[in-house]
Chains A and B, each alone.
Chain A
Amino acid sequence: MNAPPRLFTLPEPVAPHWRHAWGGVWRLTLHRHFLPGRWLMVLIGLAVLALLGFAPGRGGLSRHFTEWTVAFYATFLVPALAFISAAGAMRDEMKSSTVDYVFTRPVRRPAFVAFRFLAHTVCAQLDFLLALGVVLVVGAARGVPGVLAIMPALLLGQVLLVTAFSALGFLAGVLTSRYIILGFGYAGVIEVGIGQIPTQLSRLSMTQQVRTLVDTLLLRSEAHSPGLLAVTGTLVLFTLVVLALAALLFHHREQGAASET
């Protein structure tokens, strides 16, 4: 009996290439970011944010609105959502749908964490840019004077906080599936606890750093407030240290062992 005709010849082996690997992680992240179901959730979130934006200072005072955007939106909502979103993304990468296909390919795990963080953070920045747009529109609709003027400071603070808290989310996601509890612990001890102590220790709080920066940029704080570069440097350093820790832990983590029998 004749052998059936060959339909396929295996292509040539390919050598690992870090730039292409980054492209692969970026594409896989981007495709998932633009899923219709996900965007529905984002739109609902933006609508809720708009509703919340109309709540504070019904008298239309600009001070109330600015306080709300700094205290609630920029230093609570943005870090909390950035943390949850990043931790969830990292947990997704530990499911078999990723483990069995991605981590069987020649990408070093620390490099994967860095690529995934970059891709996730870019996507998250886009989401939060929309949210900031909603804040701007709400402020304008309420007739808050000077709402446009506070936007550059808020944008800078938002970019820094999304980056830093995404890194923290990645670390929490690598550590545990109960990352929300870890987040509460961190928020309680560092952000709410130490961050409120009126000493140099409060600089450990990233939201406090950004709040001081935004206040400085809005010309509302004391003369001794840390400068733009100092705050930016601190948040970048925080991001790098936390991300390096996440990458190190992930490198040594066994994958797929939980599903064993």
Chain B
Amino acid sequence: MSAIVQAENLSRFYGMILGLNNVSFAIRPGITGIVGPNGAGKTTLFRLLLGQIRPSSGRLTVFGEEPWNNPSVHARLAYCPEGEAVPAGLRPLEWLVGLGMLSGLSAPEAEARARAALTRVKLAPEHWRKRVTAYSKGMKQRVKLAQCLLHGPKLVILDEPMNGLDPVGREDIAQILRELALDGTSVLISSHILHDLEALCADFLLLRWGRVPRSLNDAASPEARARWPEATTFRCDAPDRLARFLFDRGLVRGCDIAADEGMLHVRWRDPAQFYADGNFTALLLESGVHIFEVQATASFLEKAADPTAASSS
């Protein structure tokens, strides 16, 4: 499958400040998560992809073309920024119709598509008469996503679109992004809500300090993600009893118990011993402990987003 985004030795500096430093990568069609701690270069990458800034060196292509000041690329892109800044005084329909027309739609078509997009992001029509600046953060996120749906883009870039949304809202957005992917639209998404990204994305690009660390990206590859997690967190009513049960069966290399929170963090001796064959649910039932939640601890994404971890390439 050919890449929609291709970067070769791409760098971007702001004077002495590093944005991206000599990175090379390819992004394939589908939903790709862009992950990294603050200052990793995510926004720089997005601005380069959007053609708002130029590379300091190296080459970046989107759909095979350089995006800087290139309307042909812009016609196929949509962008949902992280910031909450929206034009003062405009109502959502007014704003979306204006933006739709800027993308090339006629006024009636822009209005029809704006209505459909606002409906799809589940912004109730009674809110359409309010000005966007008066919206809550979650409602602004929905309008910002709606403006991405107007012109049938082939690549949608979303910077922290889940911020300010409750779990239902986040699932709504995730569902829209899945539908976009089904329509053949690629999605690049950054988010600090890592388990949402893990559930949504087929591929990941991990950034740290302006670099694309190879070891982290290898760990994030689909093959690596198919492996069992090396550590697991349980939320249960008797974490100490569950720990003893797992230790007795020789499954555990080490563990941490937070009894007051009902949490048990377990590091497996061999993860496959616990997870493989799909009989771990029977094992957990056998323990007699009431388990409320099972979650892989410190996933590859969490490691990648941890700014204290040593950088490696």
What A residues does B52 contact at CB under 8 A? Answer: 99, 103-104, 254-257
What A residues does B175 contact at CB under 8 A? Answer: 4, 7
Minimum CB distance partner of B183 in chain A: A10
8 A Cβ contacts from A19-45 to B? 20-21, 23-25, 27-28, 31-32, 35, 37-38
B176 on the interface (CB 8 Å rule)? yes
Report the Cα distance A95→B76, complex, angstroms: 23
Could you tell me how many residues of chain A have their Cβ less than 8 Å away from some Cβ of chain B?
48
Stretch from A53-61, A106-114, A213-221 that touches the partner:
A106-114
Contact B120–A7 (Cβ < 8 Å): yes
A11 on the interface (CB 8 Å rule)? yes
In the complex with contacts A31-B94, A100-B79, A260-B14, A24-B102 CB distance below 8 A: yes
In the complex with contacts A13-B151, A24-B99, A104-B50, A261-B38 CB distance below 8 A: yes
Could you tell me how many residues of chain B have their Cβ less than 8 Å away from some Cβ of chain A?
61
* Interface secondary structure of A, over-half rule: loop
Report the Cα distance A100→B140, complex, angstroms: 14
Contact B185–A10 (Cβ < 8 Å): yes
Most buried by A among B38, B89, B113, B147: B89
B29 on the interface (CB 8 Å rule)? no
Contact A25–B183 (Cβ < 8 Å): no
Report the Cα distance A107→B154, complex, angstroms: 17
A251 on the interface (CB 8 Å rule)? yes
B153 on the interface (CB 8 Å rule)? yes
Q: B104: which of A25, A106, A109, A257 is its contact (CB, 8 Å)?
A: A106
Q: B150: which of A11, A27, A254 is its contact (CB, 8 Å)?
A: A11
A31 to chain B: closest CB distance in Å? 5
In the complex with contacts A14-B103, A27-B97, A260-B69 CB distance below 8 A: no
Contact B88–A32 (Cβ < 8 Å): yes
Contact A107–B81 (Cβ < 8 Å): no
B64 on the interface (CB 8 Å rule)? no
Contact A31–B101 (Cβ < 8 Å): no
B149 on the interface (CB 8 Å rule)? yes
What 0/1 readout, one digit per residue, does chain A (231-261) give for beta carbons within 8 Å of chain B?
0000000000000000000010011110111
